Structure 1
Amino acid sequence: MRIAIIFFAILAVVCALPAEKNTKCKQVCTADYTPVCGAPKDGKGSTITFGNSCVMEKVNCESNKDYILKSQGECGGKSPVRLS
């Protein structure tokens, strides 16, 4: 019985601890569809249409990519679209 009480006490303490947050990256972008065409800064790889510039910045931050704005609007062709 004591072991169960100790176990649940430890569990309660662990659950009460705050989770670490990555405050470096923007957490939320709007759903506003104002597409931008992003290209890898190093020129290697294909272009991607991002739902808006915030989405491109978020992808760059969260995945350590370095896309730069190539043009306003969709990239066209078979370019993938990233909305969030």
Structure 2
Amino acid sequence: MTHQSLPDHVNPIQWHQALAVSRQTCASVFRDGGTPAEALAAFGLKVDSEEAPNWDKAVDQIASEICAHPMARAA
């Protein structure tokens, strides 16, 4: 299973953590009989109606979404 390369603007540790969360979420949706589109919808991501997403693409898109928003820093 190949994933997109690490985006330049993302900390490598954050990217790997986001991939782990994304995989865990997709596995949970899969176990419940869901589709990749439903996993994407859980994160507010829109699905291209022309091409049905597969699980590999869903994992990458969710990880990218997790990394897209800066995290709040603790005091």
Normalised TM-score (structure 2) = 0.25
Write 1 or 2 for the structure with the bigger share of strand. Answer: 1
Write 1 or 2 for the structure with the bigger share of helix. Answer: 2
Larger RCO: Structure 1 or Structure 2 (Cα < 8 Å, ≥ 6 residues apart)? 2
**Rg larger in 1 or in 2?**
1
Normalised TM-score (structure 1) = 0.23
